[in-house]
Structure 1
Amino acid sequence: MPEIIDATSHIITDEVLDTLEKVHPTDELSSLRNAPRMSDVEGRIEYLDKNGIDRQVIDLAAPMIWQDIDPDNGIEATRVANDEIARIGEEHDRFIPVGTVPFLTDEYVDEARRCIEDLGMHGIQIFSNINGRMLDDDDFEEFYATIDDLDVPLWIHPQLADWHDYDTSHTWIYKMLAWPFDTNIALARLIFSGILDRYENIEVISHHLGGSFPYQVGRIRSWYQTRTEEPELYQNPAIADLSEPLEAYFDRIYGDTAVSSQGESFPLECGLEFFGADNVVYSADYPFGPDKGQYWATEIIPLIEDLDIPEADREKIFSGNIKRLLDLE
């Protein structure tokens, strides 16, 4: 059995909940207290041992807790969260800590740098939109320049957005089905705005195997081709003058295997066909999912083992790709 490294998992501690609750109490925040596994490090190690997982990337759980907060009020909780995750990584060598910044301007840019240079974290998690602002917003340019300079991967986790007028009781449906859509928008805007063109060191790990980006890649290629071939026909093609073919930017996007599978292999196969074996990394989205977060690993690991691919490619997915990305031993 090859080494297995979970490239995307989530954690949050009581210290983070307490700090954020003082300035931005929400139902989403309160609900996290109902699942002790969110912060249970020893239980997490038992989960790793049970499923044969050697190491695990940990980043901050629950993007929704930052919605509608004033950025000035969230910076302390952000620092506490990153300090906590760095501490857990320092105390337990099974964990690989990744920082999180819920906003991409001002002090949060400094916080991203602190995560890497002072806390020794291995990358930065951001969300697919920033309180409804798209990731290619002009105000975020300094953030991308900083990540390019730091030369660490960006994890993109989907975030809710007010695309429709829905009541909070139906939020779960939008997490289930609109999160992949929001991931698509985030990836497309990073490409077609020219951010990935301007900042050549940026590589992206997209949660949930790129949303539905792999399924829609033909549509993406076709629309880009028609708008560049016939700009006179399309009057609003806000497309950067990209210096490389689309595949050059696709090659810097990775997808994790957290496809919420209940035995279906075709989402994983679709993602693998698009990303290629060099750009897929293992994840089961712990501690979320059925059976209190235990279930998805029991489905996804066997699916990867059963894929009709060379053993060398299987080893890349399970650990080789994330080790290369993060320069791990």
Structure 2
Amino acid sequence: MAATTRDSLPNQIIYIRDSSVTNSIRALRIDVHAHYYSDRFIDLIESRGCDCGACVRRDARGPIIDAGPLHAGPLASRFIDLDQRIADMDAQGVDVQALSLTQPMVYWAEENLARELSATFNDDLVAAHERFPDRLVGLAMLPMHHPKSALDELARVKAAPGIRGIYMGTAIGDMDLSHESLLPVFEAIEEAGLPVLLHPLKVLGMTDRLKPYFLANLLGNPFDTAVAAAHLIFGGVLDRFPKLDVVLPHAGGALPFLVGRLQHGWSVRPELKHMERGPEEYLARFYFDTIAHSQSSLQYLIAQVGADRVMLGSDYCFDMGLERPIEVVEAQEQLSDTLRDQILGGTARSLLKL
């Protein structure tokens, strides 16, 4: 990426010279939803994970991680190999990726192993950033099911090179995000000025009604994102931590399309009388990625929350992701060039402090 800064607008859009097109200037493109597994993280699960219920199988196509109902793999080399990742980013036209773990994360492990797994992955994020400082940043993993260890790991990595946010499941094991034990960690994350980016993990119904037909992903992921957001709203987490930024994956899942139902419930149900404001007002507290798999759905999201709350995402490199994420945004013809550039990178640059 040949990055020659031409202008920095108040909305944090940065323009760079595109080396692939002569005399072309375009906005910096930042992918906030891109997954990464390091060799050391996988090896640590393989050597010690089985005692806690997570095992690694080796396959010619790549390693496979099984942790109870959670399954990852075969993990193709592009999940692990940074050189291949950079080549893929170049082919996509993506300038920067924010690297994140995904299932099984670390919440299945006992405390010492969970902290070691988190530290190993986080150190590998730092190493990836130091190798490609203009291309890769990291979203740190914390052993949230052991809050004291989560606080210790946060203190260790919050200022580490390239760490630009915290990655977290939409639930922590069987705990919802409004669980009281998690509040000190959210407080420390807010004080550190880091955003929280969520991802579905152990989703509702994945072992029964959503088990067939890949429904645990197709339906479970967007449902679970909406459930997590509802707990943050109704459980008072967003009120308690007014400066905490939260990013919802997969275009917010079901939340943007069901927020009217939540709003109506708030107006009539006694279970929600503790809320001074309705759920619709909390949409502005969230950020969203572009992984809607529908141009009309993405257009609806942008119209509902504003282009300044939506950021480029690919879900690299799962088959449920977007192989051409830039084209998805460019196809939103109702957007001005400035708003399109805001989605492609302006908002992410501000949120991740790049």
Q: Residue 78 in 1 paired to residue 108 in 2? A: no
Q: Give the Cα–Cα distance (whole angstroms) in 1 for the partners of residues 207 and 336 of structure 2.
A: 47
Q: Map 1:17-28 to 2 at 5 A.
A: 17-24=42-49, 25-26=54-55
Aligned partners of 1:207 and 1:258 also within 8 Å: yes
Q: Map 1:1-16 to 2 at 5 A.
A: 1-16=26-41
Give, in angstroms, the shift of residue 268 of structure 1: 1.1
Give, in angstroms, the shift of residue 170 of structure 1: 4.1
Q: Give the Cα–Cα distance (whole angstroms) in 2 for the partners of residues 164 and 13 of structure 1.
A: 26
Give, in angstroms, the shift of residue 274 of structure 1: 2.3
Q: Give the Cα–Cα distance (whole angstroms) in 1 for the partners of residues 213 and 197 of structure 2.
A: 23
Aligned residue for 1:266, secondary structure, equals helix
Unaligned runs of 5+ in 1: 228-233
Task: Report the equivalent of 1:231.
Answer: none
Deviations 1:272-308 (CA, angstroms, capped at 9, x unpaired)? 1222111000011111126xx7xx232x422311211
Task: Report the equivalent of 1:44.
Answer: 85
Aligned length: 310
Q: Give the Cα–Cα distance (whole angstroms) in 2 for the partners of residues 195 and 92 of structure 1.
A: 35
Q: Map 1:1-329 to 2 at 5 A.
A: 1-24=26-49, 25-26=54-55, 29=65, 32=73, 34-60=75-101, 62-66=102-106, 68-93=108-133, 94-104=135-145, 105-161=147-203, 163=205, 165-166=207-208, 170=212, 172-227=214-269, 234=270, 237=271, 240-242=274-276, 246-259=279-292, 261=293, 264-289=294-319, 296-298=322-324, 300-307=325-332, 308-328=334-354
TM-score by length of 1: 0.87
Give, in angstroms, the shift of residue 173 of structure 1: 2.5
Q: Give the Cα–Cα distance (whole angstroms) in 2 for the partners of residues 301 and 76 of structure 1.
A: 36
Greater displacement, 38-47 / 281-290: 281-290
**Closer/same/farther in 2, CA of residues 70 and 171 from structure 1, 3 Å limit:** farther
Q: Give the Cα–Cα distance (whole angstroms) in 1 for the partners of residues 85 and 274 of structure 2.
A: 44
Aligned residue for 1:156, secondary structure, equals strand
Aligned residue for 2:123, secondary structure, equals helix
Q: Give the Cα–Cα distance (whole angstroms) in 2 for the partners of residues 303 and 32 of structure 1.
A: 26
Aligned residue for 2:151, secondary structure, equals helix
Task: Report the equivalent of 1:230.
Answer: none
**Closer/same/farther in 2, CA of residues 65 and 141 from structure 1, 3 Å limit:** closer
Give, in angstroms, the shift of residue 112 of structure 1: 2.1
Q: Percent identity?
A: 26
Q: Give the Cα–Cα distance (whole angstroms) in 1 for the partners of residues 210 and 230 of structure 2.
A: 28
Give, in angstroms, the shift of residue 245 of structure 1: 5.6
Give, in angstroms, the shift of residue 23 of structure 1: 2.6
Aligned partners of 1:278 and 1:313 also within 8 Å: yes
* AA matched with 2:345: S
* AA matched with 1:327: K
Identify, as 1 or 2, the structure richer in strand: 2
TM-score by length of 2: 0.81
Q: Give the Cα–Cα distance (whole angstroms) in 2 for the partners of residues 41 and 304 of structure 1.
A: 25
* AA matched with 1:317: I
Aligned partners of 1:7 and 1:281 also within 8 Å: yes
**Closer/same/farther in 2, CA of residues 11 and 165 from structure 1, 3 Å limit:** closer
Deviations 1:220-273 (CA, angstroms, capped at 9, x unpaired)? 21111223xxxxxx3xx156444x5645532120100123x3xx3122112212
Identify, as 1 or 2, the structure richer in helix: 1
Aligned residue for 1:63, secondary structure, equals coil
Q: Give the Cα–Cα distance (whole angstroms) in 1 for the partners of residues 105 and 228 of structure 2.
A: 19
Give, in angstroms, the shift of residue 159 of structure 1: 1.2
Q: Give the Cα–Cα distance (whole angstroms) in 2 for the partners of residues 302 and 16 of structure 1.
A: 33
Q: Give the Cα–Cα distance (whole angstroms) in 1 for the partners of residues 210 and 338 of structure 2.
A: 45
Give, in angstroms, the shift of residue 180 of structure 1: 0.7
Give, in angstroms, the shift of residue 158 of structure 1: 0.8
**Closer/same/farther in 2, CA of residues 200 and 40 from structure 1, 3 Å limit:** same
Q: Give the Cα–Cα distance (whole angstroms) in 2 for the partners of residues 160 and 122 of structure 1.
A: 25
Deviations 1:170-226 (CA, angstroms, capped at 9, x unpaired)? 494212211111110101111111111111110111111111111112112111122
Give, in angstroms, the shift of residue 16 of structure 1: 0.3
